[in-house]
Amino acid sequence: MPAVAPTPNPVFMASEPLIAPPPTSPLPTPQAAPYVAEASLPDGVTLQRATFRERLAAFALDVVVVLITAIALDLLEFRGGRNFVLLLLLYHVAFWAAKGTTIGGIICQLRLVRADGQPLQLGDAFIRGLGMPRSLGEVKVGRENFERIAKQAMGTPWVPRNPRPIPGPEQVREILELAA
């Protein structure tokens, strides 16, 4: 009998993959963005933003520290957890203002600084503890939008009637620069 060459199996010779790759998202992949502090760091030194996982780990450690301390000092009276939340806020504000980090932050090697690189003051730490933004950059409003915002602000009923006169978009832009 003559030798017969095996016929290729068309299923395995397809040029397309058997399993389609997952569709790509139009949204950018979240990554830790580099952070450059302007005032207090030497030239060329950059700080890396902490990832969500690192912040969560530090927060979990802080919760354990506050819980153990509160139990040891008999400070907890669980009425809806309000006392614990207040203790946790005070703990974070005190440590952020004094050391720029918490015990969980020290373990996870995290430090909190202002946008200009300076250490946090008590007021900054309190506002940060409440989860409120301290600058327009924290809410993703960039300087490239200031001109458009200033012009639109003049069309609102509030800016032209401000108790302190704001005659034009140039003054609104100055205010936005201060808040950047």
pLDDT in tens, 109-143: 888 877 677 777 888 888 877 888 878 887 888 88
pLDDT band at residue 24 using 50, 70 and 90 as cut-offs:
low
- Residues 99 and 142 grouped into a single domain: no
- Residues 148 and 107 grouped into a single domain: no
Residue 116's SS3 state is coil
- Residues 72 and 112 grouped into a single domain: yes
Residues 6+ apart with CB under 8 A from 49: 32, 33, 34, 35
159 lies in some domain: yes
- Residues 147 and 126 grouped into a single domain: no
CA 121 to CA 126: how far, in whole Å?
9
Instruction: Report the percentage of the chain scoring pLDDT > 70.
Output: 70
pLDDT (tens digit per residue) in 29-50? 444 444 443 444 556 666 677 8
Question: Above 90 in pLDDT, residue 5?
Answer: no
- Residues 41 and 108 grouped into a single domain: yes
pTM higher than 0.85 for the full model?
no
Q: Which of 119, 79, 63 is nearest to 96 (CA)?
A: 119
pLDDT band at residue 14 using 50, 70 and 90 as cut-offs:
very low
Q: Which of 35, 175, 33, 55 is nearest to 114 (CA)?
A: 35
The range of the structural domain enclosing residue 56 comes to 32-134
User: What one-character DSSP code corresponds to residue 117?
Assistant: S
- Residues 155 and 83 grouped into a single domain: no
Sign of the four-CA dihedral 125, 127, 133, 134: negative
Do residues 92 and 125 lie in contact, with contact meaning Cβ atoms separated by under 8 Å?
yes
